[in-house]
Amino acid sequence: MCWNNEYVEVSVSTPRDVVPKLALGCLVAALCVACGPSEEDIKRDVRTRFDTNQTIAPLALSIEVKRQVVYLSGKTGTPTEQQQAMALAKEAKGVKLVVNDMWLNNRSLADKVKDALGQDAVVGKIPIDVEAQGGLIRLSSDQTNREERERIVKIASSVEGVKEVEDRMR
């Protein structure tokens, strides 16, 4: 073809040439749509939703994502907090399922154990973190010796409602 006394090459596609190009284009488009957000994108989206929610942000829940399934773990104070965290995670783009691995802190039992420990003259002044999951009590402190730990576990075990004591003290 001639254009201002210059020759320009023009290629004409035959239907046979167009079909493979069209098929490749469709395949690329389908793959892009099928990929969706990455696991890291989903985790970031869920974390942002949690961090901007006044109820969920202080809980510092753990988020793991595998194959578009979100796994939530950590301690909550109420079933409502767990339900709210689950709902927020489900809203994130690309999430197929949310698994609840969170555990409910039994605050009233933890408070009973704290009160019993606080009334003891020997261990009452030692800072101890008390968590309760059902009838299980978890005790944490980095300021105890062996005798104090034994006494703390004995006191916690004697509180009504305590079925098991997990000693995480040092």
How many Cα atoms sit within 13 Å of 32 on the Cβ side? 6
d(CA 170, CA 153): 13
Nearest residue to 58 via CA among 42, 74, 41, 43: 74
Residues 6+ apart with CB under 8 A from 161: 109, 112, 135
DSSP 51: H
Q: State the CB neighbour count (10 A cutoff) for residue 74.
A: 15
CA distances from 31 to 20, 25, 34, 35, 115 (A): 16, 10, 5, 6, 59
Determine which of 34-38, 50-54, 127-131 has the lowest per-residue pLDDT on average: 34-38
Q: In what order do the strands lie in the sheet with 129-133?
A: 129-133, 136-140, 164-167
Domain ranges in the chain with CATH number 3.30.70: 107-167
Domain ranges in the chain with CATH number 3.30.1340.30: 39-104
Query: pLDDT tens digits for 125-161?
Result: 999 999 999 899 999 999 999 999 999 999 999 999 9
Query: pLDDT tens digits for 4-28?
Result: 555 555 555 556 665 666 666 656 5
pLDDT confidence of residue 160: 96
Q: What is the pTM of this model?
A: 0.61
Over residues 34-60, mean pLDDT: 93
Whether domain 39-104 has CATH 1.10.1240.10: no
Nearest residue to 46 via CA among 79, 80, 95: 95
What are residue 165's phi and psi, to 5 degrees? -125, 125
CATH class of domain segment(s) 107-167? alpha beta
Query: pLDDT tens digits for 81-139?
Result: 999 999 999 999 999 999 999 998 898 999 999 999 999 999 999 999 999 998 999 99
CA distances from 114 to 33, 76, 151, 164 (A): 54, 18, 13, 15
d(CA 86, CA 65): 13
